[in-house]
């Protein structure tokens, strides 16, 4: 399985989980390789692809640092390395999407995507690489429909805004924190969870509805680990590493059963009193392992029998 990363992903001077953890995960793959995973550097996102989704004035602000308020609207101090960082990390989403279309599953160590709005950043997200990748592939005719599955702890309000006028993209969003909340509309549906016991059932319901809406040509999966009970920024008591491991298996098996190419991003997960760097890295490795297992499964494209664990066993 191809996994995209370059040191440019962490090039910004601003030190924060979103601007650093890609390197932590990449380093773990050197010291503790996952069999079958090949780490590659992506091409940088083009400004044409950015401009298909984001306001030109906002793009210019991120590139130049002027105005500073707009350039820092996602919450990071601006410096010249921010621009190549976000071009690389957002380019990684598109690279993973293209790779998944050929191989079945792929991923990128990118994060900081789903809150970004058309004309400003938000919630540690500068550009919305999920929507950028979807619209780039739709524009060049590579795909005709895209599912964006968002299992970050927080609502993907940026994604909902940016796809509201494009019925070729459907957004399934299961959240445990209402930051960046939005109202459902024709192609973006938000499930709110406030009890850990409901979490996997709700993810299953979201996947079932996506199955009824589809078929899709591609799934872009925003695989947040901030629902984890120890995460101080969005975590929900009772959502353990075991629950999240079941979630990842469920998602990739669901895609595999439908011969649906899937490309994942890392999304949220934040160090604090209940979550250290090592545990955070291990949580993100759950996604990589599940994706690699799906990609390497014999007959990915022939919809083999389900390996999804029973929900009752996962709770």
Give mean pLDDT, residues 286-296. 91
Annotated domain spans of the chain: 2-314
pLDDT at 113: 98
Q: 62: which 2 tokens?
A: 């991120």
Query: CATH topology for 2-314?
Result: 3.40.800
Q: 50: which 2 tokens?
A: 């950015």
CB neighbour list of residue 21: distance below 8 Å, 6 or more residues apart: 109, 111, 266, 269, 277, 280, 281, 284
- Side-chain half-sphere CA neighbours of 192 within 13 A: 9
pLDDT at 312: 27
Cis before residue 67, ω within 30 degrees of 0? yes
Q: What percent of the chain has pLDDT over 70?
A: 94
Q: What is the pLDDT of residues 212-263, one digit of tens each?
A: 999 999 999 999 999 999 999 999 999 999 999 999 999 999 999 999 999 9
At 193, phi and psi to the nearest 5? -125, 130
Least reliable range by pLDDT among 88-102, 217-231, 297-311: 297-311
Cα–Cα distance measured from residue 18 to residue 124, given in angstroms and rounded to the nearest whole number: 7
- At residue 30, does pLDDT exceed 90? yes
Q: What is the pLDDT of residues 163-176, one digit of tens each?
A: 999 999 999 999 99
Q: What is the pLDDT of residues 35-85, one digit of tens each?
A: 999 999 999 999 999 999 999 999 999 999 999 999 999 999 999 999 999
pLDDT at 313: 31
Give mean pLDDT, residues 18-38. 98
Using CA atoms of 227, 191, 130, 84 in order, give the dihedral in degrees to the nearest 10: -40
Q: For residue 278, what pLDDT band results from cuts at 50, 70 and 90?
A: very high
Q: For residue 294, what pLDDT band results from cuts at 50, 70 and 90?
A: confident
Rg (CA), the chain: 18
Give mean pLDDT, residues 282-310. 67
**DSSP one-letter code for 185:** B
One-letter-per-residue 3-state SS of 55-109:
CHHHHHHHHHCCCHHHHCCCCCCCCCCHHHHHHHHHHHHHHHHHHHHHHCEEEEC
pLDDT at 29: 98
Give the mean pLDDT of the chain.
94
Q: For residue 295, what pLDDT band results from cuts at 50, 70 and 90?
A: confident
- Characterise 271 by phi-psi region: left (phi > 0), alpha (psi -120 to 50), beta (else): beta
**Among 247, 239, 118, 125, which Cα is nearest to 179's?**
125
171 vs 307 pLDDT, higher one? 171
Cα–Cα distance measured from residue 103 to residue 297, given in angstroms and rounded to the nearest whole number: 11
Q: For residue 299, what pLDDT band results from cuts at 50, 70 and 90?
A: low
Cα–Cα distance measured from residue 104 to residue 262, given in angstroms and rounded to the nearest whole number: 6
**Among 210, 135, 144, 198, which Cα is nearest to 171's?**
210
Give mean pLDDT, residues 29-38. 98
Q: What is the pLDDT of residues 114-147, one digit of tens each?
A: 999 999 999 999 999 999 999 999 999 999 999 9
What pTM, to 2 d.p., does this model score? 0.94
Q: How many CB atoms lie within 10 A of CB 198?
A: 17
- Characterise 246 by phi-psi region: left (phi > 0), alpha (psi -120 to 50), beta (else): alpha
**Strand, coil or helix: 294:** helix
Instruction: List, in sequence order, the alpha helices (H) in the chain.
Output: 17-31, 47-51, 56-64, 68-71, 82-103, 129-139, 157-163, 199-213, 241-257, 277-296, 311-314
Sign of CA dihedral 209, 214, 215, 219: negative
């Amino acid at each position: 399985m191809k996994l995209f990363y370059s040191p440019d992903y962490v090039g910004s001077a601003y030190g924060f989980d979103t601007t650093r953890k890609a390197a932590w995960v990449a380093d773990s793959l050197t010291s503790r390789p996952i069999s079958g995973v090949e780490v590659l550097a992506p091409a940088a996102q083009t400004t044409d692809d950015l401009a298909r989704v984001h306001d030109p004035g906002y793009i210019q602000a991120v590139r130049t640092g002027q105005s500073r308020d707009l350039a820092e609207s996602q919450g990071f101090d601006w410096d010249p390395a921010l621009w190549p960082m976000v071009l690389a990390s957002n380019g990684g989403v598109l690279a993973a999407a293209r790779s998944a279309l050929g191989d079945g599953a792929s991923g990128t160590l990118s994060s900081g995507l789903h809150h970004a709005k058309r004309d400003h950043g938000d919630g540690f997200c500068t550009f919305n690489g999920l929507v950028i990748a979807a619209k780039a592939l739709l524009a060049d005719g590579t795909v005709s429909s895209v599912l964006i599955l968002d299992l970050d702890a927080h609502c993907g309000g940026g994604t909902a805004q940016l796809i509201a006028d494009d019925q070729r993209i459907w957004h399934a969003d299961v959240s445990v924190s209402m930051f960046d909340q939005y109202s459902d509309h024709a192609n973006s549906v938000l499930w709110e969870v406030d009890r850990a016991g409901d979490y996997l059932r709700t993810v299953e319901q979201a996947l079932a509805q996506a199955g009824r809406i589809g078929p899709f040509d591609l799934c872009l999966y925003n695989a947040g680990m901030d629902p984890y009970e120890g995460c101080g920024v969005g975590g929900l008591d009772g959502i353990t590493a075991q629950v999240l491991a079941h979630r990842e298996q469920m998602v990739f098996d669901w895609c595999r059963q439908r011969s649906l190419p899937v490309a994942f991003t890392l999304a949220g997960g934040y160090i604090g009193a209940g979550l250290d760097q090592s545990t955070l890295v291990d949580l993100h490795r759950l996604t990589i392992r599940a994706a690699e297992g799906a990609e390497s499964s014999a007959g990915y494209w022939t919809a083999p029998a389900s390996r999804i664990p029973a929900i009752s066993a996962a709770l």
